[in-house]
Every structure is written in structure tokens, then in C-alpha cells.
């Protein structure tokens, strides 16, 4: 069972998960009931009017995120979160009661107008939804928690649609009653969410939308990686809203399917998001592994392009049911494309959300997430306008999808050039995952916050990469400058802000600069890793630890955690057979290696001899 699913047994997570699931389900029950009413049941609405109303409805739901997220971010930072969520759920009950009345009168215009109120309630919930997770979950649970939230969100889209299809066939009045009942259930589950202290209770609220939007954008831009991750999330929602908004008319007018076929394809997309989210958790090893983001971006482009080349406009006047739809090979390929788009989306989005939560300043986290929501909303509004404009000038929906896939490749490349850490982490993940199976033992001994010095045995040229792929916190490595200059690997080391060092005899200026950089990093609360042997072992045995470690600790007395790498001696990257990287995979593919961490040692008790002894004990007989 995935660790993320085990979270459902925890009171720290289950009530919140059910609350957000019911909220997302209710939003989509209402929205999809409205969409089906416009696209399939309102006989007086033409195809062009249907396209226009569907896109306007999507835009009206999203607009409040753009307008009210700055206020929502302040509320989420200032007030205790469980009580705030309960108030927001009470607002949902009131809005859904209005929606029930609109369904009773079957007024498409009034139903669309109420979407704005629904969007307002969802905008208030957004910053609480994502800023709550780092408070309620442990760091190693963060990826799994986000995977469950994304899975729940898209399953709610699917379940809301399925329920909407069946209930609206009974009657619009019954659908109105259903949305009120679901809102009541959401309020009931919210009452079990545990108390979570306010992050900034002294914060003074400001209702100046423009000023606060500027402020939260400034907060988000303080960390470049966080900001561009927010941009990446916003781009994903541009893609997602385009697919979901255009899917009903794509099914009816391009594929010739009925509303059940629409449900089927949305099911494929939602199941794909869930599968991609859980696959991301599995592939990342419970770490926030942003190296998976480029893989997801590539999938979004490839399968979006294939969806265009697989188009075949239906001329039949009779809309196909699911059984007849899936019997055609071209339609089965459409289903696979939709499924893979969902899987790619899950792999893409989960690490980005987890990264924003992990690296945002705790006191401003809700406001940074509010900035994310503002940009998400802006991108989704633009996506709605993009759909309206493209369709109005005669571009077909498949061609619209193709343009979006090509744009995705360009946007992804742009972001990865601005923040090369994504590509660096991808290379680390590929290098380590393709060659080894890594066991991780007692890595929880590394503190989650604050400065810490890691010391490790030096077995191969990829020691730093193995550690980077195993340890949750970003690490600054101190490494011999010649290894730092190794072709290909040098890009990874430079992007990871590794610190090149030389001996005093070789380059005293570079050595002093390295110690200054280490000191500044520790003062900034970062993790620094050194290999005290000063060189890669040529015999497999542990060399003497140099005195540089004490020079670091005398200047900045911080806890030291000993580490040991097991199983890398004799590998392609070690010097067992002479020069490294001359014997391809001498231990075969996917050989097992291990990273082991010891208990932290306070600086007053540290010495090079003690650290060497601890590392030797951790390594044991396994070289």
C-alpha cells in the first residue's frame, strides 16, 4: 500500500482530505451539471452559443481566484486554520442553496452567475488547503500528502461529473438538492480537522486588493526556485482548464460521442492524474524530487501532439455510446493519449506543489500560495479567452490542443533554462536510478531544519549525486576542484552550488574562498557536506580524515552527522580497477547500494578521529 494512502488512517490528514474532496466534488457536481445542461439538454442553445457559454462559465468561476486570493492568503496566515475552514464551508452551504434555486428555475444565466460566488468560496479555501499540509504532515509525508490531494481533486472532478450526469437525468431540482446535501457533509467533516496554530497571528489585514496582490507577488519572488515553480503550476492549470473546458464539445462535435463518452474520457484523464501522482511518490522515494518535473512536461507535449494527429471528425448524426466508441482503434488511441496526459500531469504537478510548500517561509506560506492562486487564476482566465478566441476564428478543438502542446514545450524549456535545478535534479535522478537501487537507513537523523555539517566516506565520482538523490534537504557539497570540473557532472555540481576546494599548496586563494562559502552557508541555516578524506579512496579502505572539518566547526559550531556509503566500491565510478569509468557496470545493472546516517554529534564532542571512527562503524564490512 502506498504511504500516501496510509495517511487516510491518520486524524492529522483524513478529515482535511475528506473536506477538500467533498468541496471539489461539489464544485464539479454543480459545474458539470451546468455544462451538461448547456451542451446536451438545452435544445434552444446552438453549437456556437454552447461554446461561448461553456467558456464564459469557466472564466467566471476562475475570476474570484484572481480577485480575492490576496485576502484569502492573509486570512490563512492570521487565523487558526480549522475554524477558518469551517467558516468557509458554511459559506458554501449558503451559496449552494442559491444554486439549488437556480437549478429549480432552469435558468442558465442565473446558474452561470452563481459560479462567481462558488469561485469566491473556493478562492478563500485555496491558501488554507495547501498551507495546511506542511503543518499537519511530516516532511517525508509531504509528497504523499500532495499526491493524495491531487488524486482527490481529479477524482472529485470525475465523480462530480458522473453524479451530475445521472442526477440531472432525474431532474435539475434533484441536482440542486444534491449540491446542498454535499455542502452540509463537507461542513460536518471539517469539524474534525485538528487545531493548527496561526502562522502570523499579529498580521494586520488589508483589503486593498491591488496593494496586497503586489505584496504577495513580491513575497513569492524572494525565492527564485519557488517563484518559477509557481509559474510552472500555473502553466499546468492553463493546460488542464483548456482540456477540461473543451472536452465536452470535443467529444460531441469532433469524436461524435455522447455524454457517457465524455464521462469515459474524463475518467481516463482523472485516473491518469491519480496514477501519475502515486507514481511520482514511488519514483521520488518520499522526497521532493523536482527532477521528475521535466519528465511530466515531456509527456504533456508528446501526448498532446499525438492527440492532434489521431483526430477524426465524426459526420454521424447519431452520437456514439461508450461501447461502440471504444471498438474503433482510433478512439482507443484517443483514450490512451488522454490517460497518458493525466499521468504526465500528475508526475509534473505533485513535486511542484510540494516544493513550494517546503521552501516557502512558514510565516508567509499561505500568502505565497495565494500568489500561486492568483497566477493560476490569471493563466486559467487566459486559457478561457484563448479557447474563445481560437474557436471564434475557426480553429478546431484538435488544432487548439496541438498549439497548446507546442506552447508547453516552449514554456517548459524557458522555465528549465531560468532554473537549471530542474534539469540538474533530473540528471541526478536518472544517473542514480538507472544504475543502482538505493537503500536509505536512518536518514531521519539529519535534522529537518537548521545548519548541519555532513561528513561521508569518499568512494566514487558520484558520491555527491547518490547523497543528493537520497537526502530530502538541499545540500551544498565541498569537493575537490578537479572533480568539480568533470565533464557533464560539472553542470550538476555548479547548479547544486557545490563548493570547489583545493589544497593550500595547489591554490590557497581557492581554499580560503571555499571555507568562507561554507561558513556563510552554515550561517544561512543550510546543509553542507564534506568528504574529510580529501580524495577518493584507491583501495576501498577509509583514508585519514583531514583537519579541515575542525576548521569549519571552530568557525561555525554546528551539529555534525556522520554518513556512510556502502556498495559503491567496485562500481563503474570507483577506482577499484584503476582509472574510474573504464569498466562498464562491473557489478551489473541496478546493483544495490546503501546510504546510512548516524546520530548527530555536537561540535564540542567532535574530532577528526571520532568522525572517522563513526563513519567506519556505519560502513561496516560492506565496501
Domain extents for the chain?
Answer: 9-195+208-419, 434-619
Question: What is the rounded average pLDDT of the residues 25-46?
Answer: 69
Output 83 or 169, whichever has higher pLDDT: 83
**Nearest-5° Cα angle at 399, 395 to 401:** 120
Judge contact between 623 and 569, C-beta under 8 A.
Answer: yes
- Which of these ranges, 207-211, 293-297, 355-359, 420-424, has the smallest mean pLDDT? 420-424
> According to the per-residue pLDDT averaged within each range, which of 96-100, 171-175, 199-203 is highest?
96-100
| Residue entry with cell 460531441 | 252
Residues 496-515: pLDDT tens digits? 778 888 877 888 888 889 88
Question: If one looks up domain 9-195+208-419 in CATH, what number appears?
Answer: 1.20.1250.20
In sequence order, which residues have a C-beta less than 8 Å from that of residue 392 and are 6 or more positions away?
A: none
pLDDT for the residue 106:
73
> What is the predicted pLDDT for the residue at 339?
92
Q: Roughly what angle, to the nearest 10 degrees, separates helices 209-221 and 224-249?
A: 120
Strand-by-strand arrangement of the 527-530 sheet = 436-441, 591-597, 560-566, 452-456, 527-530, 475-480, 499-501
> What confidence category does residue 300 fall into, taking pLDDT thresholds of 50, 70 and 90?
very high
* Mean local confidence (pLDDT), 428-444: 79
Q: Determine the pLDDT at residue 22.
A: 93
DSSP 8-state assignment for residue 587: T
The alpha-carbon radius of gyration of the chain (Å, integer) is 27
**Could you report the per-residue pLDDT of 440-469, keeping only the tens digit for each?**
888 888 987 889 999 999 988 888 888 887
Q: Give the tens place of pLDDT for each residue, 582-601.
A: 666 555 556 788 899 999 99
- Mean pLDDT computed over 482-490: 73
| pLDDT at residue 43, rounded to an integer | 45
Summary mean pLDDT of the chain: 83
Architecture of domain 434-619: 3-Layer(aba) Sandwich (3.40)
| pLDDT for the residue 86 | 93
Kindly report the three-state secondary structure assignment for every residue of 55-122: HHHHHHHHHHHHHHHHHHHHHHHHCCHHHHHHHHHHHHHHHHHHHHHHHHHCCHHHHHHHHHHHHHHH
Q: What is the mean pLDDT of residues 92-121?
A: 85
Residue 2: pLDDT over 60: no
Over residues 302-313, the pLDDT tens digits come to 999 998 887 665
pLDDT in the model for residue 341: 93
Q: Assess whether pLDDT exceeds 70 at residue 316.
A: no
Q: In this structure, are strands 560-566 and 452-456 parallel, antiparallel, or unpaired? A: parallel
Taking Cα atoms as reference points, which of 20, 13, 66, 10 lies closest to residue 383?
Answer: 66
289: left (phi over 0), alpha (psi -120 to 50) or beta: beta
Quick one: pLDDT at residue 285? 66
How much is the pLDDT for 327? 80
405 close to 304: Cβ distance less than 8 angstroms: yes
CA dihedral 616, 617, 620, 623 (to 10 degrees): -20
Angle at 159 between CA 47 and CA 377, to 5 degrees: 65
Which residue matches cell numbers 482527490?
A: 152
Question: What is the SS3 assignment for 504?
Answer: coil
Alpha-carbon distance values, 575 to 179, 463, 503, 540 (Å): 66, 13, 21, 8
**pLDDT, tens digit, for every residue of 525-554?**
889 999 988 888 888 888 888 888 888 888
pLDDT at position 590 is 65
pLDDT in tens, 391-415: 888 888 888 889 989 999 988 888 8
| Mean pLDDT, residues 47-65 | 68
Residue 556 has pLDDT above 60, yes or no: yes
Q: Give how far Cα 397 sits from Cα of 253, 388, 401, Å.
A: 9, 11, 6
pLDDT, residue 597, reads: 92
Amino acid at each position: 500500500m502506498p504511504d500516501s494512502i496510509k495517511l487516510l488512517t491518520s486524524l492529522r490528514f483524513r478529515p482535511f482530505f475528506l473536506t477538500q474532496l467533498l468541496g471539489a466534488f461539489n464544485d464539479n457536481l454543480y459545474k458539470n451539471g451546468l455544462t451538461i445542461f448547456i451542451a446536451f439538454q438545452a435544445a434552444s442553445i446552438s453549437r456556437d452559443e454552447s461554446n461561448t457559454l461553456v467558456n464564459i462559465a469557466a472564466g467566471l468561476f476562475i475570476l474570484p481566484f484572481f480577485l480575492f486570493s490576496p485576502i484569502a492568503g492573509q486570512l490563512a496566515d492570521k487565523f487558526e486554520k480549522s475554524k477558518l475552514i469551517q467558516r468557509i464551508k458554511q459559506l458554501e452551504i449558503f451559496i449552494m442553496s442559491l444554486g439549488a434555486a437556480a437549478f429549480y428555475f432552469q435558468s442558465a444565466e442565473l446558474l452561470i452567475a452563481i459560479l462567481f460566488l462558488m469561485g469566491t468560496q473556493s478562492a478563500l479555501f485555496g491558501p488554507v488547503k495547501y498551507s495546511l499540509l506542511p503543518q499537519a504532515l511530516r516532511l517525508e509525508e509531504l509528497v504523499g500528502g500532495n499526491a493524495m490531494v491531487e488524486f482527490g481533486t481529479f477524482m472529485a472532478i470525475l465523480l462530480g461529473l458522473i453524479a451530475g450526469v445521472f442526477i440531472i437525468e432525474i431532474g435539475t431540482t434533484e441536482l440542486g438538492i444534491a449540491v446542498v446535501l454535499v455542502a452540509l457533509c463537507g461542513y460536518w467533516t471539517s469539524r474534525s480537522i485538528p487545531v493548527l496554530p496561526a502562522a502570523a497571528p499579529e498580521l494586520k489585514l488589508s483589503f486593498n486588493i491591488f496593494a496586497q496582490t503586489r505584496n504577495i507577488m513580491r513575497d513569492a519572488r524572494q525565492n527564485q526556485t519557488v517563484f518559477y515553480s509557481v509559474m510552472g503550476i500555473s502553466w499546468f492549470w492553463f493546460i488542464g482548464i483548456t482540456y477540461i473546458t473543451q472536452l465536452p464539445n470535443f467529444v460531441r462535435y469532433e469524436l461524435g460521442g455522447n455524454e457517457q463518452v465524455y464521462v469515459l474520457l474524463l475518467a481516463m484523464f482523472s485516473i491518469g492524474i491519480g496514477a501519475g501522482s502515486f507514481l511520482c511518490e514511488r519514483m521520488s522515494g518520499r522526497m521532493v524530487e523536482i527532477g521528475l518535473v521535466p519528465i511530466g512536461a515531456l509527456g504533456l507535449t508528446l501526448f498532446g501532439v499525438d492527440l492532434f494527429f489521431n483526430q477524426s471528425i465524426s459526420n454521424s448524426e447519431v452520437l456514439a455510446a461508450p461501447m461502440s466508441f471504444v471498438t474503433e482503434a482510433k478512439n482507443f488511441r484517443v483514450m490512451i493519449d488522454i490517460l497518458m496526459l493525466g499521468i504526465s500531469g500528475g508526475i509534473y504537478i505533485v513535486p511542484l506543489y510540494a516544493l513550494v510548500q517546503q521552501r516557502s517561509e512558514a510565516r508567509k506560506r499561505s500568502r505565497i500560495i495565494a500568489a500561486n492562486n492568483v497566477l493560476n487564476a490569471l493563466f486559467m482566465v487566459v486559457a478561457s479567452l484563448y479557447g474563445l478566441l481560437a474557436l471564434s476564428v475557426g480553429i478546431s478543438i484538435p488544432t487548439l490542443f496541438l498549439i497548446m502542446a507546442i506552447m508547453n514545450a516552449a514554456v517548459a524549456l524557458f522555465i528549465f533554462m531560468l532554473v537549471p535545478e530542474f534539469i540538474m535534479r533530473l540528471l541526478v535522478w536518472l544517473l542514480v536510478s538507472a544504475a543502482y537501487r538505493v537503500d536509505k537507513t536512518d536518514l531521519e537523523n539529519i535534522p529537518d531544519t537548521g545548519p548541519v555539517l555532513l561528513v561521508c566516506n569518499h568512494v566514487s565520482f558520484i558520491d555527491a549525486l547518490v547523497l543528493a538523490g537520497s537526502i530530502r534537504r538541499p545540500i551544498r557539497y565541498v569537493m575537490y576542484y578537479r572533480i568539480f570540473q568533470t565533464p557533464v557532472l560539472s553542470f550538476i555540481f555548479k547548479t547544486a552550488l557545490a563548493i570547489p576546494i583545493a589544497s593550500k599548496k595547489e591554490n590557497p586563494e581557492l581554499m580560503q574562498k571555499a571555507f568562507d562559502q561554507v561558513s556563510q552557508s552554515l550561517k544561512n541555516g543550510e546543509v553542507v557536506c564534506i568528504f574529510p578524506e580529501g580524495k577518493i579512496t584507491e583501495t576501498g579502505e577509509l583514508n585519514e580524515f583531514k583537519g579541515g572539518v575542525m576548521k569549519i566547526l571552530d568557525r561555525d559550531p554546528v551539529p555534525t552527522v556522520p554518513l556512510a556509503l556502502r556498495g559503491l566500491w567496485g562500481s563503474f565510478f570507483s577506482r577499484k580497477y584503476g582509472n574510474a569509468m573504464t569498466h562498464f557496470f562491473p557489478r551489473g545493472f541496478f546493483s544495490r547500494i546503501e546510504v546510512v546516517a548516524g546520530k548527530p554529534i555536537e561540535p564540542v564532542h567532535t574530532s577528526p578521529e571520532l568522525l572517522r571512527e563513526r563513519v567506519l562503524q556505519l560502513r561496516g564490512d560492506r565496501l
